[in-house]
Amino acid sequence: EVQLVESGGGLVQPGGSLRLSCAASGFTFSSYWMHWVRQAPGKGLVWVSRINSDGSSTNYADSVKGRFTISRDNAKNTLYLQMNSLRAEDTAVYYCAPGRGWFDPWGQGTLVTVSS
């Protein structure tokens, strides 16, 4: 069974940093592109970033470019999102998901709250 477990969320002050992790199991992690998607409270889904299977190529939404960094450790079957210079508008549940195109399945998400 595919499992994706996000962690690392929490309360952080504006301008602060957090690193999210996504532990994957039940599939060949090193063969899949991986994505981060976020959802602000009561709002819709927003794609954040993606990384290819070997980590050599990354892309970001304009809203996080230059502040967030996606990476992966295929030996540990883990995806990361380093978030710096956090803003109030980054407050959201962050999901990880595998896929070259569509996303399936999704993790349960981890909540990031940016507030003073």
What is the binding site for other proteins (CB under 8 A)?
35, 37, 44-47, 50, 59, 61-62, 95, 99-109
Taking a C-beta distance cutoff of 8 angstroms, is the pair 93, 110 a contact?
A: yes
Closest contact distance (angstroms) between CB of 88 and other proteins is 21
| Tokens at 86, concatenated | 């956090």
* Residue 41 vs 116, nearer CB to other proteins: 41
| Tokens at 95, concatenated | 């999901």
| Tokens at 93, concatenated | 């549940």
* Residue 38 vs 72, nearer CB to other proteins: 38
* Residue 13 vs 108, nearer CB to other proteins: 108
Look-up: residue for tokens 């592109």?
A: 33
Helix (H) or strand (E) holding 34: strand 34-39
Closest contact distance (angstroms) between CB of 16 and other proteins is 26
- In this structure, the dihedral spanned by the alpha carbons of residues 6, 111, 16 and 74, taken in order and rounded to 10 degrees, is 10
* Residue 75 vs 102, nearer CB to other proteins: 102
Closest contact distance (angstroms) between CB of 57 and other proteins is 12
